[in-house]
Structure 1
C-alpha cells in the first residue's frame, strides 16, 4: 500500500483540504477527508482525478505550427494532413505517438481515445502484420504510461460511395466484415482496450446499410465513436446521397446508443440534438481544433439539456491541454450567445474526467473514490496563472494550463514529474523531424 496526503483535492467536483488516499494494486483503497497529520507523502497543490482525452489522432501532432500558415479551410488543411499520413510507417509512428502520448501525460491525461485509421501501407496493401500500425499505438501508450482505447476506424469511401484515393487507400479494409476480422487479432489488456469507430458518414459505401447494419451489431456493448456533422458540407452531402442528416442516418440504422460518442457534433438540427439526447450518447467536443480549423461552435449546452453527455478531446493537437478544452466550451458559448455562465466549473471537470473515461470504456476511472483506478493529476496553485484563484474547480477550469501540472499518476504509478518537459520536447522534435525529412 502507498499513501498520499493531498494538500487539496477535487472530490465529486468540489475542493477539500487534507485528503488522505491509500493506493493498493492501482486502485484507491481508502479516501479520507480532513486528515491533519499523517506519515504519508504530502502532495502540495490541487489534485484532480486523471483527465480523459476522448479524441486523438496522434500523427496530427506533426502538423502543429505548419498548417496554420496562410488562409484556407478544413478541406485545404486535410490535404496537408494527408501528406503526413502518406509518410508514416510503423517505426516512425511508434516514435511520434510515444512522444505525443508523453506530452499528454505531462498535461494530466491518463486515458486517451486514439481514433486510428492509418491501417495499411501507403498503397493500401496490408503490412505483414495487418495490425502493425495499431500495435505501434498500443506500444506507444504503454511506454508513455497512459491507458488507451484504440478506436480502430472503419473507412470505406472517399466520399459517399466514391472509392478511396491517395492517402485514403491505407485507411480502407474493403468492408466492415474484413475490418472486424482484422481487429479481432488486436489484444485488449488492463490498460489497453480495443474498440471501434466509423470515420464519418462520408466514409460509407453507396449503400450505407451494408456498413452500418453490421457495424451496429458488432458495436453492441462496446464504445463506438464517429466524426459527426463537423462540416456543413458533410451534412449537405449526406442529405444528397442518403436523404437524411448524418445523425438521422446513424439513428435509423441503430448506431446511436449510450456508448456512442459523436465527435464534434457542430452543425446539428433540432431533430439531431433530440436524437443524440434520447440516445444518451456522448458528444466529444474538441474546441481548440474546431476553432483552429474554422469548423464552428457546436451546441454543447443544448445537447446536455437534451440528455447527451459532454466529453473533451484534443483531436488535431493544435494544443494538448484539457484545461483549455474545458474552459473553451464555456467561453465559446459566451461568444455565440453574448451571455456568460452556461457551464459550471464542476460540470466541465466531470466532462474531462468521469464522463470522458466512461466514453472510452473505462467505467472505473475519473473519480478519487474507493475502488476507482488510482489516477491523480496535481497542478501548481502558486504559478503565475493559478496564484490567488481559490485552488478549487474554478482554478482548474478557468486559470490552469497544461504546464501547471506537476505530476501525473496512472493506476497508482507516477508517470510524470515536474522537470521532465524539456526531455519530452526533445523527443517530440526528433520524432516530428523524421516525419518531415
Structure 2
C-alpha cells in the first residue's frame, strides 16, 4: 500500500463535495483504499501540491484529427477546406504512423489531466479497403499507444457502411476516401468486432484497454443495418453514434425515413441507457424527450463544435430532461478538460442570454463521471472518495489564471496549463507538463506530425 499527500483536494462529504486540506490518500491495486483530511504526510508519501481533483475523462476522440489543428483555416477556412484535409490525413495513416501519432496525442491528454479516453475509431483497413494482413492492425496500434501513454482506452470500433442516404432510403456507396472505413455489411462488422474484443481481452489489462461499439451516424449506417445491430450487438458494451451534428443530416434522415435521427434510433430500440449520442446539436423537443426518457448520454465537444461552426447544442434542456451530459475533445482543436467545461457553459450563456446555466459542480461532473459512464473504463466520480480508482490531477491555485479563484470554480478560470501532476491507477504519470516516461508531448507531436502532409 502506498500513499499520496495532497495539499488540498476536492473530496466527497456529507454535505456534498468540499475542498479539504491535508488530504492523505492510501492506494492499493490502483484504487483509493483510504482517505483522511487534516493529515500530515507520512514517510514515503508522494506529495501533490495545489488542489487535487479527480482526473478528467475524454468521452469522444478521433486521434488522427490532431493533425488538423491550426491547418484547416486557409482563406476563410470553410467546411470543405476542413473536409479535404481530414480525408487526406486519414488516407496517409498506416498502423506504424498511427501508433506513433496516437501515442503523442494520448500523452498530450495525460499531461492535460485526462486519465481515460473513448476513441471513436473508423480507419480500419488499407486505403483501398483491403484488410491488413493482421486483421486488427490499426486497432492494436491504438491499444499499444494507449498503454505507452498510460491512459485508459475504450476503443469504440465503428460501423461505417454508406456515404449518405438518398430521399428514397437508398444508401450511397462509400467514396474513394471512405472505403478504408467500411466493412462488407453489418454482419461482417459484428464478426470483426467479436474477433477484436477477444484479441484485446487476451492482450491488454481490462482496466486499461477495452472495446466498445459505435455507429458512425444515420448517414453512414442505413436503416436495415441499424436493425441488424439492434438485434445482434452484445448487450455488455457501450454504443456511441454521431447524432444530429448538422441540419443537413436531419433533413436527409427525415426525407429518407420520415423521422429525425433520434426518432430512427428509437424506432429500432437503440435509444437506451448505454447509448451515447455525440454532438446532438440540432434536436427537436421530441428528440430531447426521447433521449431523456431513455436515460441516454449526450457527449458534447464544445471546442470542436465551435471550430466546425456546428452550432450550440441544447445542453441545459437535455440535462433537465434526464440526459447525462459528458464532454469530449473530438478533433482536438484543444485538448483541455477545463476549456471544454467552460465552453459548455459559455455556449449556453451565448444561446440563452442567461448566466449560470450549469453550476461548477455540474461542469466537473460532465468531465468526470458523466464521461466515464459512457465508456467501458472505471467510473470516475466528480470528487475523491474511498473505493474509487486513483486517477487524479493536481491544479496550481496560484497561476496567472487561477490566482484568487475559489477552487471549486476552477472550471471558470483554470486551463490544462495549470495541471501540475497527473496520477492514473495510483501511478504518477505526468508532472510539470511532461509525461513521466515519454517526455514532452510537444516534441512527440512534432516528430509524429512530420509523417503527414
Please report the TM-score for the alignment, with normalisation by the length of structure 1.
0.96
Is the alpha carbon distance of 1:290 and 1:364 closer, same or farther for their aligned partners in structure 2, counting shifts above 3 Å?
closer
Q: 1:213·1:254 contact (CA, 8 Å) conserved in 2?
A: no
Is 1:126 aligned to 2:131, yes or no? Answer: yes
CA apart distance, 1:362: 2.6
Q: Secondary structure at the match of 2:373?
A: helix
Q: 1:8·1:16 contact (CA, 8 Å) conserved in 2?
A: yes
Q: Which region of structure 1 is more displaced relative to structure 2, 1-10 or 313-322?
A: 1-10
Q: Which residue of 1 aligns with 2:220?
A: 203
The match for 2:99 among 94, 97, 112 is 94
Aligned pairs for 1:220-369 (under 5 A) are 220-366=235-381, 367-369=383-385
Q: Distance in 2 between matches of 1:216 and 1:355?
A: 27
Q: Distance in 1 between matches of 2:123 and 2:133?
A: 15
Q: Secondary structure at the match of 1:359?
A: coil
1:62-103 CA distances to partner (integer Å, 9 max, x unpaired)? 010101232254354222201110111000000100000000
Q: Distance in 2 between matches of 1:73 and 1:193?
A: 36
Cα RMSD after superposing both structures: 1.5
Q: 1:216·1:254 contact (CA, 8 Å) conserved in 2?
A: no
Q: Secondary structure at the match of 1:4?
A: strand
Q: 2:111·2:433 contact (CA, 8 Å) conserved in 1?
A: no
CA apart distance, 1:183: 2.1
Q: Secondary structure at the match of 1:167?
A: coil
Q: 2:5·2:40 contact (CA, 8 Å) conserved in 1?
A: no
CA apart distance, 1:337: 1.0
Is 1:29 aligned to 2:46, yes or no? Answer: no
Q: Which residue of 1 aligns with 2:180?
A: 170
CA apart distance, 1:29: 0.4
Query: Where do 4+ consecutive residues of structure 1 move more than 6 Å?
Result: none
Q: Distance in 2 between matches of 1:348 and 1:419?
A: 24
CA apart distance, 1:14: 3.0
Q: Which residue of 2 aligns with 1:150?
A: 155
Q: 2:158·2:216 contact (CA, 8 Å) conserved in 1?
A: yes
The match for 2:395 among 375, 379, 384 is 379
CA apart distance, 1:2: 1.1
Size of the aligned set, in residue pairs, is 432
Q: Distance in 2 between matches of 1:50 and 1:377?
A: 5
Q: Distance in 1 between matches of 2:94 and 2:181?
A: 13
Q: Which residue of 1 aligns with 2:86?
A: 81
Q: Which residue of 1 aligns with 2:416?
A: 402
1:276-311 CA distances to partner (integer Å, 9 max, x unpaired)? 100110100000000000000000000000000000
Is 1:411 aligned to 2:428, yes or no? Answer: no
CA apart distance, 1:115: 0.2
Q: Distance in 2 between matches of 1:173 and 1:325?
A: 33
Is 1:389 aligned to 2:405, yes or no? Answer: yes
Aligned pairs for 1:39-54 (under 5 A) are 39=43, 40-54=45-59
Q: Secondary structure at the match of 1:96?
A: helix
Q: Distance in 2 between matches of 1:43 and 1:145?
A: 19
Q: Secondary structure at the match of 2:130?
A: coil
1:42-63 CA distances to partner (integer Å, 9 max, x unpaired)? 3210111111000000000001
